Structure 1
Amino acid sequence: MELTAGRRILPPRMHQVSIAILALLVLAALFAPIVARYDPAQQSLQQLAPPGGGHWLGTDALGRDIFSRLLYALRTDLILIVPAAALPMLLGTAIGGIAGHFGGVLDTAVRWIADVFQGLPVYVFLIALVAVLGRGVTSLLTAFTALGWIVYARLIRTEVRRVKEANFVAAGYLLGHSWTGVLWRHVLPNANRQTAAYFVFDLGMALQGIAVLSFFNLGVPAGTPELGAMVAEAQIYLRSHAWLAAVPGATIVLLGLCIASLGDYVRARSGGES
């Protein structure tokens, strides 16, 4: 990709396609009440109907329209993955910024905690934590925050330790700014280049985590349309009605690939790659 002064840098064709698909998925979820042909909870006598004119993607074992449930499940997951990635980013940035700026005991503690958690099986620990906290949105967000802030803290801590030695930081103190003002106005804005890219990738990780937890009946409340839960409900029909699991499963894969492609583009831009 060429860097040309005065011209906007466009992503490669693959990124363009991925971003376009991601935008369509987001719009479909946003306007699910308008696009969906049926109530996602509405049951009927047309149980396990194949894809056709009346039901574009067929119906499940309770006669519920798969297309409508897919739209609302997509809506549920997209609503959840944003705070699931944003909360640990905010907490980790705050802790890592303070630790890197002052050093000392807090800096040592953050480094030690990061080293410990790096060796843990994330999904096993996530499932165990949600199992202890109980099913529900609050438990999901608490578990993701408890596990996810460490990576952001480690990233920001390293960058802050580098940036705080710059002349403009010393100039901020000479101008009478407090340590909080220097940290939030001068240090962090120059130390978060990797954070934006990791946040996008973290959206994909949150999507996988929520789908896995819902598959094991530890995610969203029962009855709520969710992609992982739809796969779990369909697993007993894999031989006879494979589309029941294939449709939400393919949606998870497609959404994850689009988010990964967007994260790759953001990383390239933030890193100055061409």
Structure 2
Amino acid sequence: MSRANSRNYAFPLWMFVPAAIAVLVVVGPLLGLVIKIPWHRAEELLSAPSAVAALKLSLGTAVTATVLCILVGLPLSLLLAQWARHRGESRGGRGATLIPVMGGGVAFVVYAPLVLSPVVSGLALMYFWGRNGLLGQFLASAGLSVSFTPWAVVLAQVFVSLPFFVSTAVTALSSIPRRFEEIAATEGARRGEIMRKVLLPIAAPGLITASLLSFARALGEFGATITFAGNIDGVTRTIPLNIELGLSSDDVDAALGSCIMLLALYIVVVALLVLARWLGGLRQR
């Protein structure tokens, strides 16, 4: 690339100031948190039984929630991506109104947890999965209780993290040129084969990113979890809930010790996100 082509023509120099402020707004609090962590007690705090139990529960439930998001979110993402393409292709046609309304309605419902208050999300889960909820009452009559169990944590995590998976996956799938599907179809490939051998491999970096974002969101879930699952030691107390317990009991060092766990896990997630983007860049070359 020539020097002239590498110049920036669309970013005024004065915009570096608000951009730097935006970075400071994010980095500043994180820096303050890292400085305040009692690193000299890190080994003691990380090996505390409550912290270890919270870590195991958080990893187990977050991984389970991510797998569930992939299992149910991937088909939904494929459907929404197809609807988005149909909307672009059918402008002025018979499906120009019906398809966008259907796709927009489903997307509105799926993305609702992004804007709902965590407490509202917890209440919604309780009134659906709880003992007296729409579905929970039938589960309770069958001897299955969801509330205040590890499965309540998983359901809360799926509820809040599924929109992150779907939105990212839809973007990755929608960016694949339609001609790839058409070429495969003309070669005799069936719908399932097109999905497995064309769409999913091409969208793999984006789907990995969607999974990692979903995992990170599940790992940090707090509000819906404490409302629907409670804060029971060894049963529903995840790392965020263990942090809240430390703060409420005036044990700030214990809370900061749990913060070390979350920060370490987030660093791993960010590293994997960077790796996924790098692999995606290699595939495009």
Answer 1 or 2: which has greater helix percent: 2
User: For residues 223-262 of structure 1, what are the structure 2 equivalents within 5 Å?
Assistant: 223-224=233-234, 226-238=238-250, 241-262=251-272
- Counterpart contact for 2:161–2:217, Cα < 8 Å: no
| Structure 2 segments unaligned to the other structure (5+ residues) | 1-39, 87-94, 130-146
Report the CA distance shift for 1:154/1:217 in structure 2 as closer, same or farther (over 3 A): closer
How many aligned residue pairs are there? 210
The CA deviation string for residues 13-36 of structure 1, in whole angstroms up to 9 with x for no partner, is xxxxxxxxxxxxxxxxxxxxxxxx
Contact 2:205 2:280 in 1 (8 A): yes
Identity percentage of aligned residues? 12
Alignment pair present for 1:140 and 2:153: yes
Runs of at least 5 residues in structure 1 that lack an aligned partner in the other structure:
1-50, 59-64
The 5 A counterparts of 1:1-274 are: 57=44, 67-101=48-82, 103=86, 108-115=101-108, 117=111, 120-121=115-116, 123-132=118-127, 133=129, 134-163=147-176, 165-166=178-179, 168-209=180-221, 211-213=222-224, 216=226, 218-219=228-229, 222-224=232-234, 226-238=238-250, 241-272=251-282
Give the number of the structure with larger relative contact order, counting CA–CA contacts within 8 Å between residues 6 or more apart. Answer: 2
Contact 1:97–1:153 (8 Å) recurs in 2? no
User: 1:92·1:151 contact (CA, 8 Å) conserved in 2?
Assistant: no
Deviation of the 1:208 alpha carbon: 0.7
CA distances 1:48-98 after superposition (whole Å, capped 9, x unpaired): xxx99xxx637xxxxxx9623322321111111112223223322212213
TM-score (norm 1): 0.61
Per the alignment, do residues 217 and 254 of structure 1 end up closer, same or farther by CA in structure 2, a change over 3 Å counting? Answer: farther
The change in CA–CA distance for 1:250 and 1:148 in structure 2 (over 3 A counts) is closer
Q: CA deviation at 1:173?
A: 2.2
User: Aligned partners of 2:101 and 2:61: how far apart in 1?
Assistant: 32
So what's the TM-score if we normalise by structure 2? Answer: 0.59
Cα shift at 1:200 = 1.4
Alpha-carbon RMSD:
3.6
In 1, the alpha carbon distance for the partners of 2:80 and 2:195 equals 11
* Native 8 Å contact 1:88 1:148 kept in 2: yes
